[in-house]
A and B are shown apart, each in its own frame.
Chain A
Amino acid sequence: MIARIARKEMVEMFRDGRFHLAAGIIGVLLLASLAAGWKQYADLKTQHETAQRAERANWLGQKPKNPHQGAHYGVYAFKPKSQLSMVDTGVDPYVGVAVYLEAHKQNEFKFRPAQDASTSIQRFGELTAATVLQLLIPLLIVLLTFSAFAGEREQGTMRQVLSLGIGRGRLAAGKALGVAGALAVVLVPATLVGVGTLAFTSTTGLLAVDVSRTLLMVGTYGAYFAIFLALSLAISALARSSRFALVALLAFWIVNGLVATRAFSDLAGYLHPTPSEVEFDKALQADLANSTALNARLEQIKQGLFQKYGVQKLDALPVNFRGISLQEAEDHGYTIFEKHYGDVFDSFDGQNAVYQWGSLAAPLLAVRSLSMGLAGTDFAHHRHFTTAAEDYRRTIIRYMNQDILVHPVKDGEEYLAGSDLWQKVPPFEYEAPSASWALGHYITSTVLLSGWLAATLLAAFVAANRIEA
């Protein structure tokens, strides 16, 4: 019976020119945005890989020089594009694409793409597949569903349908299934095309798609659509007229899609303010300049070495003290950088937590967070890469300082290292974290989205059972 109702609903929609138009436009936009996303992903991926290889060649091609000069020469680390960024580019336009890894300091990421492409419409946002899924599909659901019950009541067909003795719950289920079927006509091909493109263009091997991330993303959007479907049915069942149902649902769509995201983002800014770059840099430089503890520690090490080897002069040591002092200075810097960057990054995380709680008011906030997280284009992934790049910087410097340490020099001499040393430093390899790691950052969103799903399904069930003709 449910299937028959669903079929009737679908047939009705498929005969409606407005459905053809709306579904056609949305389908085209979805495919176009996927294509644009894929092109961007493919272009940037190649660029970043080429650049990273070139950087490795630059590093290995260094002429003989002192290892510390090598550390100053450094390496650039380029942030790789994630596969699913073709669906959701997330914060990628707003974070730098590369970081310079050099001696003495942890640099910030430079070159935010949004700054380079700052045409006057840039702040309207990009049309990504995520935008289509987050804003347009819910609107399509509202348009397909608002008159499901209210419309039948107005036309007077509700009484007839109910007189057939069909259960109200079954009627609702059938209508929901009908709308879902119509949506599937748009969504299933797009999903297949998207996954297919990823699978067949993957350079890391045919079909090398991150299955768990993809499935979780499909699940997230599926839940989001189900929420809209259930809510629309509930409102349609309760509404006095289909006009009222439509206006109420559009109002919800606007608050959910437009108002809440900005309102909570600004609220988060009030609750977790961040320092300006000027303040940040001033505090950082002040801490770095304070070398009392460092000097005391170096003196202590020096005396310890003098005692150990029974000598009085640095020159007489069997090791090069400069290797130690450079490394100690780095270690001194590590804790300071960790504290300063850590504080700022933690306040970003705090802001993002406030934003996630905003999904109490609007499910989109949970979906946006989860979608970016699963696509690997959120701040958490950026921070993960930042840490990996910083670890690599420390690795390079440790190799350099270790080499200085084991090459004692007499006054005025300069030790030069060659390609052996450059070779010793392993190339930079970054592995993106797992899907469960990504999901771990969005427990709040997952719970609240599930809550919305349960609540709206319950509302639809209750409302459907109270339908009156």
Chain B
Amino acid sequence: MLRRIARHEWRMLFAEHAPWVVAALLAASTGYAVLNGLNWTSFQVATIEKALDEEAERYIGLKQQVTAIESGQMRAPFADPRMPDMAGGRLAPRYAAMPPLPLAALSIGQSDVLPYYFKVSTASRESVLTTNEIENPHRLLHGRFDLSFVIIYLFPLLIIGLSYNLLSLEKEQGTLALLLSQPVPLSTYVAGKIGVRAALVVLLVVMFSITGIAVGGVDVTPGGTLLRLAVWTGVVAAYGGFWFGVVLLATSFGRSSATNALSLATVWLLLVVVLPSTLNTAVAALYPVPSRVDMIAAVRVASDQASAKGNTLLAKYYGDHPEFVAGSDIEKAINDVAITRLAIDDEIEERVRPVVDRYDTQLARQQGLVDRFRLLSPAIVAQDALNDLAGTGSARFAHFVRRVEAFHRDWRARFASMIVQKQRLSAAMYDDIPHFTYQDEPLGAVVVRAGVALLLLLGAGLVLGAIGINRLRRYPIAG
């Protein structure tokens, strides 16, 4: 019976050309979205490549300079590449990059606002971690037309557009009573109608997306990519399922087509647009991240004070690091500007830490609040999962930053010890300066997070759908 209803419904939809319209709309929007995503990821890949090229070129130049100075062909410049403070600071910083995942084109997420590479030097943590990509701020404000935008915002609208008059139209045309005089339960009939529509839009969305990335030449061979893609498909289907659940519930009230369209549009507006942005604003108002203006002022004051007592600091530095005192000539070291600088930097960092920590605490509080309230909106749950799977969300970024911080700490320690021991870099030592290698967080963690989101969406959809089906028993078939 269900099959017969579905076949009939399918013919009806075709008679209205609905599948063609849906397919055309989806093809155009997913096509443009995937194109934008691919364009952005290839820009990122190219930029990282250029950065590494620039670094390699710079290193070759520095090594040549060192050799030339050592052999006496060149006079040592002010920025002497043999000096560890110069090398570790402004001359030989290395890039620490987080390459986009193969599926990044599916969701640009936060990757346009958050940095994807840092230039690591002995500079303070704050100045290393504040690189900005050049981007028109207007474009950052408007956001990108990417696939997750199509899925989160437009996909539900398509579902609503296809099914807001699921039963109401039949009722308005007077065919419903006629139809139900046949031995068919209303719920079976509705299930058939919804099933056909769900199959149509979900299959089309998934099909077009995968065709898009296949045509765009995304490489799915790296480990875990197919699994991510599979979960991604599941989340998209579950998000669609949620909206069909909403439609079913709205249908069960037996109102007119216009009322259904209105109430469904309102629910969509609240869940997808109003709730997330209100939550965003509320979070920012409840736990405001202090303005960076405060931090700048704190650094400024700390720098002035630290510089003023440079020599005292130097003594303190040796007190804190007795390992450097043994075997080195303290008297000579005291005159060493580089060591004073090192001590000053440490002092500044220590003084500024409480201010800096406030940012992290507030951000953690904000995210905590978001995590608690995100369940209110399926759009937030789905967007988070899609970003997570594409590797463009906050979790992967936080992971990246933690790794860069560790790399930066090692880098500073390494050059600090070279400075204190008054080493000079040879060309060979340049090759030993460590590279940053990015290692992704374990795939399992990502899949579990996305899987939970999938189940939540599916569960919510099923609950709404079940309530809807149950209510259908009292559906006012006539009048």
Contacts and interface: CB of A to CB of B under 8 A. Distances in A.
B265 interface: yes
A154 B29 CA distance: 35
Given A263-B32, A275-B134, A351-B139, A122 B292 contact: no
A82 to B, nearest CB: 15
Interface string B55-83: 00000000000000000000000000000
A98 B387 contact: no
Nearest to A131: B277
Contacts of A266: 32, 36, 139, 144-145
B436 interface: no
B134 A47 contact: no
Given A117-B366, A277-B133, A124 B304 contact: no
A301 B280 CA distance: 59
B138 A120 contact: no
A412 interface: no
B202 interface: no
A76 B296 contact: yes
Contacts of A352: 136, 138
A278 interface: yes
Secondary structure type dominating chain A contacts: helix
A297 B293 CA distance: 40
A242 B172 CA distance: 13
A292 interface: no
Given A36-B281, A127-B274, A254-B157, A262 B144 contact: yes
Contacts of A124: 273, 276-277, 279-280, 379-380, 383
Contacts of B379: 124
Interface string B378-401: 011001100100000110010000
B432 interface: no
A372 B136 CA distance: 14
B421 to A, nearest CB: 29
A266 B40 CA distance: 10
Interface size class of A (residues with CB under 8 A): 35 or more
Contacts of A58: 300-301, 304
B110 to A, nearest CB: 6
Nearest to B261: A246
B285 A147 contact: no
Given A96-B132, A351-B139, A378-B138, A250 B110 contact: no
A279 B370 contact: no
A349 to B, nearest CB: 9
A278 B113 contact: no
Contacts of A90: 141
Contact of B297 (A54, A118, A247, A275): A54
Contacts of B41: none
B47 interface: yes
Contacts of B387: 120
A117 B363 contact: yes
Contact of A250 (B46, B261, B295, B296): B261
A44 B380 CA distance: 29
Most B CB contacts (10 A, CB to CB) among A265, A351, A382 go to A265
A307 interface: no
B138 A111 contact: no
A274 B266 CA distance: 39
Contacts of A115: 113-115, 130, 132
A118 B110 contact: yes
A121 B113 contact: no
A250 B157 CA distance: 10
Interface string B133-160: 1111111111111000100011001000
Contacts of A399: none
A143 B278 contact: no
Given A58-B300, A117-B366, A118-B394, A250 B141 contact: no
B394 A120 contact: yes
Contact of B161 (A43, A120, A123, A247): A247
A117 B282 CA distance: 12
Interface in B228-269: 256-258, 261-262, 265-266, 269
B278 A29 contact: yes
A127 B291 contact: no
A110 B394 CA distance: 21
Contacts of A270: 39
Interface string A324-367: 00000000000000000000100110011001000000000000
Given A94-B137, A262-B145, A276-B133, A119 B294 contact: no
B262 A143 contact: yes
B276 A119 contact: no
A351 B138 contact: yes
A185 interface: no
A295 B153 CA distance: 59
B434 interface: no
Nearest to B112: A123
A77 to B, nearest CB: 11
A94 B141 contact: yes
B220 interface: no
A33 interface: yes
Contacts of B142: 261-262, 265, 355
Most B CB contacts (10 A, CB to CB) among A51, A275, A277 go to A277
Nearest to A245: B258
A117 B39 CA distance: 26
Most B CB contacts (10 A, CB to CB) among A36, A43, A48, A120 go to A120
A119 B144 contact: no
A29 B138 contact: no
Contacts of B363: 116-119
A382 B137 CA distance: 10
B131 interface: yes
Most A CB contacts (10 A, CB to CB) among B47, B279, B291, B301 go to B291
A269 B291 contact: no
B209 interface: no
A359 B262 CA distance: 26
B83 to A, nearest CB: 19
Contacts of A385: none
A302 B80 CA distance: 28
B13 interface: no
Contact of B288 (A43, A119, A250): A43
B377 to A, nearest CB: 9
A227 interface: no
A339 B110 CA distance: 31
B289 interface: yes
19 contacts: A29-B274, A29-B278, A36-B281, A36-B285, A76-B296, A96-B132, A111-B296, A112-B132, A115-B114, A115-B132, A116-B289, A116-B359, A126-B277, A243-B261, A262-B144, A266-B32, A276-B133, A277-B131, A379-B136
Given A51-B293, A121-B279, A379-B137, 4 more contacts: A43-B288, A124-B379, A265-B139, A265-B144
Among all A-B residue pairs, the 10 with the closest Cβ atoms: A124-B276, A111-B292, A91-B137, A265-B142, A262-B145, A94-B137, A276-B47, A94-B140, A127-B277, A348-B136
